[in-house]
Chain A
Amino acid sequence: MQALTSRAKRVERKPMTLWERLYLPGIAKGMMITFGHIFKRKPTVNYPEKTRPFSPVFRGLQVLNRDEEGRERCTACGLCAVACPAEAITMEAAERLPGEEHLYREEKYAAKYEINMLRCIFCGLCEEACPKDAVYLSETFAPANYTRKGFIYGKDELLIPDPVKQPDEYAKALGARAPRPK
């Protein structure tokens, strides 16, 4: 019979020799192999204590950014929602009222901004589409949840902490992938 691949190996069906039939030498050989594995380096990473670094192109959970004064950058233009191939983003715009200038940078802002993490494919097109550098993909991923509703992230989950009021949390949440001002 012609072998289908060049790597095909014929199975030997010779009767076992006495040495093989004794069985004990075979066992001893196997035992030595497993014994050797006791001293091998373990490839396991102790996960919660140690994490493997993400690759620099990793795209994780979206973050809604603020500017240096802590004002939301998003103007609810809807470009990200249009760009989204998975249609995961919905938003509702609202007009900034007088006296809210310290909260929102532009006259229009997103009153509701939701990303369905079950739909999101983390392609990063929203980040590319955003003209205001308001949304970008961070280095974490969406944690597990009990309900489908829990995966629809609203502004309270997505918005970064205020850099003026909570500078430490802001720095931590910002991460290495945040768009830097040129």
Chain B
Amino acid sequence: MHPILLAMDWGLLLEKAVLITIIISVSLLVAMYETWGERKIAAVIQDRRGPNRAGPGGLFQPLADGLKLFMKEEIIPTSSSRMLFVLGPGLAMLTAMMTSAVVPWSSHFDLFGRHIELQIADVNIGILYIFGVVSMGVYGIMIGGWASNNKFSLLAAIRGASQIISYELAMGISIIALLMLTGSLSLKTIVEQQQHGVYYVLWQPLGFLIFLVCAFAECNRTPFDLSEAENELNFGYHQEYSSMKLGFYLFAEYVNMFISSAVMATLYWGGYDIPFVNDTAFGQAHGQNLLAILQAVSLFGKVIIFVFFFMWVRWTIPRFRYDQLMRLGWNVLIPLSLVNMLVTGFLILLHQNNWHF
């Protein structure tokens, strides 16, 4: 065998490959059941029953929907830019999935004499990586909207993209305030700090609120789903899409929702930390593997609460008008997050100076 191949840590490679497979399948599964959950929640909020025909409680509804989407005729408009038309939904899906790489899903397993981290990559720029990938998400929308060669799609794509880059700023500044507290960009470190102290939402309530609002805007969810405002733009940027390409766009939204819930839980709500339990002591008492499983469950619980919140908001609040959206982003959220950052910096300096001016 070639020396390079021998030098590689095949165990690590296998471990990561398995982990990536699991995380991608879980994200897809969660996204599938988010569509079911969305319909159910919409239904109960509107005093209806929601899907209840396919399987018990309509549990197989997502499978039926997926099958329907696959069976539909695939239409590529003749006047569209063919390559980019296909690239658009693929890019949307890719960026949606890529974010999950830096989220720590649990602490670690001790299996087969190995120390298995439940995080695909613990890079020291974790949050920035998420930012980078999210800012790439704009291209899925823009390319799709432009390549459709339809004025409504183009307008929707431009709206969506300008919305995302506007809210990215407020999001970034609100995170800077958090980073001043943590002193690290690695999500794993941030979670570990919260395990030993309190959740950062207590230190950064305003920052969390801003981040939450921006996460709604980044995911193109109501009340910020301007890019698919059907009463103004027919169907939005995916108007010309059909079959599974449309499915990818819709699916990417749900994957995004899942991942952004996970990121919010990680940054502000302690990530995989089990609330009200001393995790280290529990791990020593009952074994690390059980702890890791429970921690993953705990993170999932938090994520599900956030996803429910996303849906709850969607079925409560009407859509913003475009000028309201922009005013909220630029005139309210950005100054607010700047103030939040300054106050945080001031307090940190004061704390370092032992509360003396």
Write the residues of chain A forming the contact surface with B, with a CB cutoff of 8 angstroms: 27, 30-31, 33-35, 37-38, 40, 42-44, 46
Contact = CB atoms under 8 A, between A and B. Distances in A.
Interface string B306-317: 000000110111
Interface stretch (B11-19, B45-53, B165-173): B45-53
Contact of B44 (A27, A31, A37): A37
Contacts of A33: 316
Given A27-B317, A30-B317, A42 B47 contact: yes
A34 B47 contact: no
Q: Is the interface of B mostly helix, strand, loop or mixed?
A: loop
Nearest to A26: B317
Q: Is the interface of A mostly helix, strand, loop or mixed?
A: helix
Contacts of B317: 27, 30-31
A109 B317 CA distance: 67
B49 A34 contact: no
Interface in B302-329: 312-313, 315-317
A31 to B, nearest CB: 5
A34 B48 contact: no
Given A27-B313, A30-B316, A34-B312, 4 more contacts: A31-B317, A34-B45, A34-B316, A44-B47
Nearest to A33: B316
A31 B312 CA distance: 7
Nearest to B328: A23
A38 B46 CA distance: 8
A35 B41 CA distance: 10
Interface string B184-198: 000000000000000
A38 B49 contact: no
A51 B253 CA distance: 39
Closest 10 CB pairs of A and B: A34-B316, A34-B45, A38-B44, A44-B49, A30-B316, A31-B316, A37-B45, A40-B47, A42-B47, A42-B49
Interface of B: 41, 44-49, 52, 312-313, 315-317
22 contacts: A27-B317, A31-B313, A31-B316, A31-B317, A33-B316, A34-B45, A34-B312, A37-B44, A37-B45, A37-B46, A37-B47, A38-B41, A38-B45, A40-B47, A42-B44, A42-B47, A42-B48, A42-B49, A44-B47, A44-B48, A44-B49, A46-B49
A37 B48 CA distance: 10
Contacts of B49: 42, 44, 46
B47 A43 contact: yes
Contacts of B44: 37-38, 42
Nearest to B43: A42
A87 to B, nearest CB: 41
Nearest to A24: B209
A46 B58 CA distance: 13
Nearest to B41: A38
Contacts of A46: 49, 52
A27 B49 CA distance: 25
Nearest to A39: B44
Nearest to B315: A34
B46, B52, B313, B316: most-surrounded residue (chain A CB, <10 A): B316
Nearest to A43: B47
A125 B116 CA distance: 82
Contacts of A37: 44-47
B208 to A, nearest CB: 13
B326 to A, nearest CB: 15
A40 B43 CA distance: 11
B137 to A, nearest CB: 26
A19 B52 CA distance: 42
A101 to B, nearest CB: 51
Contacts of A43: 47
A43 B46 CA distance: 11
B312 to A, nearest CB: 6
A166 to B, nearest CB: 32
A37 B44 CA distance: 7
Contacts of A38: 41, 44-45
A124 B41 CA distance: 45
A43 B312 CA distance: 21
A46 B312 CA distance: 25
Contacts of A35: 45, 312
B316 to A, nearest CB: 4
Contacts of A31: 312-313, 316-317
Contacts of B48: 42, 44
B37 to A, nearest CB: 13
A43 B48 CA distance: 7
A30 B312 CA distance: 10
B32 to A, nearest CB: 22
A16 to B, nearest CB: 13
A44 B47 CA distance: 8
A38 to B, nearest CB: 5
A106 to B, nearest CB: 49
Contacts of B316: 27, 30-31, 33-34
